[in-house]
Structure 1
Amino acid sequence: MAGVQTAVALREQGSRHAIVLLGDEPHPPYDRPPLSKAVLLGSAGSAPVDVRFDVDFDALGVDLRLGVRAQALRTDDREVVTDAGAVRYDHLVVATGAYPVALPGTTGLPGVHLLRTLDDAAALRPVLDAKQKVVVVGAGWIGAEFATAARQAGCEVTVVESADRPLASALPAAVTAPMREWYEEAGVTLRTGMAVAQLEQGAVVLADGSRIPAEAVVVGIGARPETGWLAGSGVRLAPDGSVLADDRLRTTAPGVFAVGDCASFPSARYGERLLVHHWDNALQGPRTAAANLLGGDEPYDPVPYFWSEQFGRFVQYAGHHADGDTLVLRGDPAAPAWSACWLRGDGRLAAVLAVGRPRDLAQARKLIARSAALDPARAADPAVPLTSAVR
């Protein structure tokens, strides 16, 4: 997404530069969100879901080179070293994304799957077609989405999470504890507070010694920026492995920008550096990077946004909250539709989580963008539109 959108944005903003777009996968560029949804739920005999971007690269004058992997960057020579040879550049945009984290010692084991690429999704479709017993490791966003698809396909599903609740690293207990019931309603067994000790043939062994039968294991325990190839290049990395971009998405190397899942950037709105692993960031960032590559001076400080479809619910989140922000619930988290808002100390709306309340999400994004402050009592009333809670 980030690489394609950068090329498109450059042309839309009038660039006549020669543009080379490198991708390490053999497939034409495609959209990732459907991989954990529509692509998985297609049956072996059905037509494949078309997830390719509707972009005519020839018409754009973009030299698309597939199956070419970046291996190193020589900033002094302005060359990207690939497995197909060196590619020279005047300007470079790094958009290498992120890779899924594997359980130690499980890479290449039969029956163990990750879900990040089109090939990953294609490998999982036979698992769902055969209605296999599946163990999902990780009750985060991707784990919940895969568990949803697997249950819809008729699989027996167990989700194992080392934390005490789903989404523990992303959201507070007051918000996520009720989500346990989503798993139960869907017929998914959720085991929390339990780490995986090892994988055996046909089973997952937990830290307490218990064994869960498994014909397939799907690992969804996070992702890391795909930046190892930048070692020694002069492009500085943050401690989390992300490219250390500035607020114009420039890196520490001349003429090099970075966008999408591989790059973090300083947010003036939130007063900290953000690493956003979501689709909307890969859509918005390239527009700013393209403008600045062409001589502009545009800051990048978006209101982060993402969505997830899980267990019959449409979950949306906008903004960014910190531990010190005040949580205001709008409705009962046990109900089918509710929202949660986070307010800064001065009352400014920092973030919102909306479950089945798209109007709250749409209004909140605009309020966050203009740093609006809310009255907590009115914001807590789900019958009051958020725009009417502005003080």
Structure 2
Amino acid sequence: MSEQTQETGGPPSRHVVVVGAGMAGVQSAVALREQGFTGRVTLIGAEPHQPYDRPPLSKAVLLGKSEGSAFDVDFEALGIELRLGCEVLGVRPAEHRLDTEAGPVRYDVLVLATGAEPIRLPGAEGVPGVHLLRTLDDADRLRPVLARQHDIVVVGAGWIGAEFATAAREAGCAVTVVEAADRPLAGALPAEVAAPMAAWYADAGVELRTHTRVERVEPGAVVLDDGSRLPAGAVVVGIGARPATAWLGGSGIELGAHHEIVADAHLRTSAPDVYAVGDCASFPSRRYGERLLVHHWDNALQGPRTVAENIVAEANGAAAAVYDPVPYFWSEQFGRFVQYAGHHAAADTTLWRGDPAGPAWSVCWLREGRLVGLLAVGRPRDLAQGRRLIEAGTPMDAERMGDPSRPLKAATA
């Protein structure tokens, strides 16, 4: 595409470089074209594979039901230049230069979408049979492990641990999940909400050990802090993820307490002409009155639209768009479809809809009479209606909300 191309109503064509070829990076590049951006767009990814979606890795790809999950995007037709298998090493904002292992790349606008990387189990690196599940290569290495029906120990009872345990049981493996906290999803949900989920493990034939820490991993075994040993043909570590931002050291770009890039309400960073989106960045939420760091697929889908809109708006002198979504994610585990919308941290009221011992129930969180968060297990209608009610800030009638036979949208005040 010619450097002389003009953006409608804007200055001479610019070069936008997007770092990270996951959902947030791909959608940023695609959204730029959808917004009418006609300049150069370069998408840089560390992995050599054609850009792919991650959620299927813990499901269809892992179980061999699908060979991959490449995005259905014709990058060539969109005029998006791909540079795959290329590690980024640093950035010099004052010079508008990105340093990569293939040499420096000049940009006019830079979008940081490097995502998050899994936290490794201390002392387990290099031990045979220890696995992470974040990339396509990780899934390819784990697929034959499941096919051989090994005894598997999963470290961590979070979202990824539960999803992997589900797939391993479906493959016929014996699975033990080890969790340091007193319950599954301890870092994500309140105790009274997460507690009923512990029974799902036993129902699926998975042994869940809470209040349990790993002392060390040996070839073929996991040694726990009480001295007991678990046989382990494979160990899968799912103890969380952190923003992949170590490469930004020395750049001057502001990082937060969790090593995430600090973005403003328009997803701009502290450096000029640099945006950040997806798992690697936090943003201020006016809706919830705090800064949010959201490590979920929907955030990586929605945020790029704001980034693209603002890149084009800046070129044309238009007002900048604000990013303030209702966070959303889902998980498929132990035969259940779990969905969450909103943010419950500042809620002052918790309401249950249905029996948590049953197959379908929801939990609603309210603040000053308005719905701010909702967890739905097997109740997708609650989630769909609740998400819209959170978005609108609609006052709710708590008594009617507690009746699971009544649609949520009929429980407004």
Mark yes or no: TM-score above 0.5. yes
Deviation at 1:324, TM superposition (A): 4.6
Q: 2: CA distance between counterparts of 1:236 and 1:268? A: 20
Deviation at 1:50, TM superposition (A): 3.2
Matched, 1:316 2:339: yes
Aligned residue identity for 2:69: V
Q: 2: CA distance between counterparts of 1:368 and 1:249? A: 22
**Partner in structure 2 of residue 354 of structure 1:** 376
**Partner in structure 2 of residue 103 of structure 1:** 121
Q: 1: CA distance between counterparts of 2:395 and 2:223? A: 49
Q: 2: CA distance between counterparts of 1:75 and 1:57? A: 27
**Partner in structure 2 of residue 5 of structure 1:** 27
Paired residue for 2:327, among 293, 304, 325?
304
Aligned residue identity for 1:110: P
Paired residue for 1:369, among 349, 374, 391?
391
Secondary structure of the structure 1 residue equivalent to 2:339: strand
Deviations 1:37-66 (A, max 9, x none): 0011117xxxx4330000001001011000
Give the alignment of 1:187-336 within 5 angstroms. 187-294=205-312, 295=314, 296-322=319-345, 324-336=347-359
Matched, 1:42 2:42: no
Matched, 1:167 2:194: no
Q: 1: CA distance between counterparts of 2:395 and 2:120? A: 42
Q: 1: CA distance between counterparts of 2:404 and 2:234? A: 42
**Partner in structure 1 of residue 88 of structure 2:** 70
Matched, 1:134 2:152: yes
Aligned residue identity for 2:393: S
Deviation at 1:201, TM superposition (A): 1.9
Secondary structure of the structure 1 residue equivalent to 2:31: helix
Secondary structure of the structure 2 residue equivalent to 1:40: coil
Give the alignment of 1:145-160 within 5 angstroms. 145-160=163-178
Do 2:153 and 2:234's aligned partners in 1 also have CA atoms closer than 8 Å? yes
Aligned-CA RMSD value: 0.9
**Partner in structure 1 of residue 139 of structure 2:** 121
Secondary structure of the structure 2 residue equivalent to 1:39: coil
Deviation at 1:132, TM superposition (A): 0.3
Do 2:347 and 2:372's aligned partners in 1 also have CA atoms closer than 8 Å? no
Secondary structure of the structure 1 residue equivalent to 2:53: coil
Do 2:347 and 2:365's aligned partners in 1 also have CA atoms closer than 8 Å? no
Matched, 1:184 2:184: no
Q: 2: CA distance between counterparts of 1:325 and 1:204? A: 41
Do 2:129 and 2:234's aligned partners in 1 also have CA atoms closer than 8 Å? yes
**Partner in structure 2 of residue 379 of structure 1:** 401
Aligned residue identity for 1:157: V
The percent identity for this pair of structures is 67
Deviations 1:197-219 (A, max 9, x none): 11112111111111111010000
**Partner in structure 1 of residue 55 of structure 2:** 33
Q: 2: CA distance between counterparts of 1:234 and 1:180? A: 44
Deviation at 1:172, TM superposition (A): 1.1
Matched, 1:90 2:113: no
| Deviating more after overlay: 316-325 vs 361-370 | 316-325
Q: 2: CA distance between counterparts of 1:323 and 1:202? A: 44
| Residues paired across the two proteins, number | 386
Q: 2: CA distance between counterparts of 1:28 and 1:188? A: 35
Secondary structure of the structure 2 residue equivalent to 1:76: helix
Aligned residue identity for 2:396: L
Q: Which runs of 4+ in 1 moved over 2 A?
A: none
| Deviating more after overlay: 21-30 vs 102-111 | 102-111
**Partner in structure 2 of residue 389 of structure 1:** 411
Gaps of 5+ in 2: 1-22
TM-score by length of 1: 0.97
Q: 2: CA distance between counterparts of 1:12 and 1:324? A: 37
**Partner in structure 1 of residue 365 of structure 2:** 342
Deviation at 1:374, TM superposition (A): 1.3
Secondary structure of the structure 1 residue equivalent to 2:95: coil
Aligned residue identity for 1:262: C
Do 2:127 and 2:218's aligned partners in 1 also have CA atoms closer than 8 Å? no
Deviation at 1:107, TM superposition (A): 2.0
